[in-house]
């Protein structure tokens, strides 16, 4: 097949969950012998095109990582030009990146869209912020964003963009797409996100954190972009209770973002600076070392979206995980079987779950083993790529049948 994938961003723009997902999907499809053309937003260094065997990447628009009118127009014109010679078999829109083709009435082959989150999820996330322990300024910002996102969703439904196939990445997302987007159930395909189970796997305990933890105390790890919706403030708020169980426990926070100053202030306010370590960003290829250095992975998100890839990566490394029971997380974690789920924003329950795992080595081991097994069976990169290709084949087949 000859496939055109349109995406908002790639690792060349920023290293994040969606960017890694798109890159690994592209690489996996190419590895299977298919041709792929990617159209994405402006490159941060002004590069227009990159090319290697069976893969071409085009950068268009006026701003990196932003859906702008110029991106929608530029991507539509470029696709129309390329399609005359490439004759693509299918278009795959990552989130709403390919909507420009419909806005500008470009004739396309069968089109598939993957939802990595929805406007409904975003609205719910912003409502969660309104009721969480953040500043009044951030609550006002969230209220404004609720209005903007709601307006965008209304416009989306009015335009009624059409897709031949819709990929839902979780069980929960299927319900959102049928209820709020009016997609027909027969056009929705479940394809769970995948992780590289060879790159992320259990190894001998890594020494990468030894310089921060010379006496080999218990380590709680969180890996996230540092924004308020990721809820890192909640695990920090839970630390005083956790430290009552063991005053030597370390919380290691990997990632950067515009909420970093708030978290630093919170740590100082709680006088737990000796127990909280901010690492900053680390190379993606180094993440397995950090997962394998921890005793427990925590994701206290208040963001109503899919499951963060970091959850799957920790599980693939056979680590016990404690995660907010929100959004699509239950697709990835069965409470008490391969992880522990806690009520979103409940600091007391979060602390209790963390202590429960850290004090019970048999429980931690059982959860970790079950987590790895689930990732191997349902969330491997290989399974994700194969399932996505099957969706392409199905929508192409159905499109041909309709045209007979």
Both tokens of 199, joined, read 């790159």
* Spatial CA neighbour of 384 closest among 170, 173, 91: 170
The yes-or-no verdict on residue 158 having pLDDT over 60 is: no
Q: How confident is the model at residue 305 (pLDDT cuts 50, 70, 90)?
A: confident
The yes-or-no verdict on residue 161 having pLDDT over 70 is: no
Query: How far apart (Å, rounded) are the C-alpha atoms in residues 391 and 190?
Result: 9
Rounded to the nearest 5°, which phi and psi values hold at 355?
-60, -40
CA separation, residue 148 to residues 123, 173, 227 (Å): 9, 22, 19
Query: How far apart (Å, rounded) are the C-alpha atoms in residues 50 and 38?
Result: 10
* Spatial CA neighbour of 344 closest among 184, 248, 233, 226: 233
- 90-104, 285-299, 356-370: least confident range: 90-104
Both tokens of 215, joined, read 């006496």
Over the chain, what is the mean pLDDT?
A: 91
Query: How far apart (Å, rounded) are the C-alpha atoms in residues 267 and 261?
Result: 10
CA 350 to centroid of chain Cα atoms? 22
Q: In this predicted structure, what is the pLDDT of residue 321?
A: 98
Domain with CATH 3.40.50.2000 in the chain: 2-194+381-403, 219-378
Q: Model confidence over 96-142: pLDDT tens digits?
A: 899 899 889 899 999 999 987 666 666 666 676 666 666 667 667 76
**What is the model's pTM?**
0.89
Q: What is the DSSP letter of 164?
A: S
Range list of H helices, 135-286: 136-159, 171-180, 232-245, 260-270
Q: Model confidence over 232-289: pLDDT tens digits?
A: 999 999 999 999 999 999 999 999 999 999 999 999 999 999 999 999 999 999 999 9
CA 279 to centroid of chain Cα atoms? 20
* Spatial CA neighbour of 346 closest among 28, 26, 131, 127: 131
Beta bridge partners of 399: none
Top CATH class of 2-194+381-403 equals alpha beta
Fold for the domain defined by 219-378: Rossmann fold (3.40.50)
């Amino acid at each position: 097949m000859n496939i055109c994938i349109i995406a908002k961003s790639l690792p060349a723009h920023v290293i994040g969950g969606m960017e890694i997902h798109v890159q690994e999907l592209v690489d996996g499809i190419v590895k299977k012998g298919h041709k792929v053309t990617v159209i994405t937003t402006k490159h941060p260094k002004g590069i227009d095109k990159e090319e290697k065997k069976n893969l071409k990447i085009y950068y268009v628009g006026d701003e990196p990582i932003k859906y702008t009118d110029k991106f929608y127009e530029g991507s539509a014109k470029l696709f129309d030009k390329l399609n005359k010679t490439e004759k693509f078999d299918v278009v795959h829109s990552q989130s709403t990146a390919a909507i420009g083709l419909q806005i500008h009435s470009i004739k396309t082959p069968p089109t598939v869209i993957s939802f990595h989150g929805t406007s409904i999820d975003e609205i719910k996330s912003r409502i969660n912020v309104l009721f969480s322990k953040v500043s009044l300024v951030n609550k006002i910002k969230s209220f404004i964003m609720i209005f903007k996102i709601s307006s965008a969703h209304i416009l989306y439904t009015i335009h009624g963009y059409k897709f031949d196939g819709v990929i839902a990445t979780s069980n929960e997302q299927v319900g959102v797409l049928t209820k709020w987007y009016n997609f027909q159930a027969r056009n929705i395909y479940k394809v769970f996100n995948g992780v590289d189970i060879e790159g992320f796997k259990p190894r001998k305990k890594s020494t990468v954190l030894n310089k921060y933890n010379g006496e080999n105390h218990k380590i709680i790890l969180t890996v996230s972009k540092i924004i308020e919706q990721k809820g890192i403030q909640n695990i920090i708020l839970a630390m005083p209770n956790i430290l009552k169980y063991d005053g030597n426990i370390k919380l290691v926070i990997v990632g950067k973002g515009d909420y970093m100053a708030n978290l630093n202030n919170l740590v100082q306010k709680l006088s737990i600076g000796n127990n909280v370590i901010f690492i900053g960003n680390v190379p993606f290829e180094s993440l397995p070392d950090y997962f394998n250095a921890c005793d427990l992975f925590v994701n206290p998100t208040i963001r109503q979206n899919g499951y963060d890839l970091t959850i799957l990566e920790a599980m693939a490394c056979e680590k016990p995980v404690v995660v907010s029971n929100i959004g699509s997380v239950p697709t990835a974690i069965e409470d008490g079987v391969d992880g522990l789920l806690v009520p979103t924003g409940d600091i007391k329950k979060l602390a209790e779950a963390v202590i429960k795992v850290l004090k019970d080595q048999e429980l931690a081991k059982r959860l970790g083993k079950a987590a790895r097994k689930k990732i191997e069976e349902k969330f491997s990169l290989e399974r994700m790529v194969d399932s996505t290709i099957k969706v392409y084949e199905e929508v192409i087949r159905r499109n041909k049948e309709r045209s007979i």
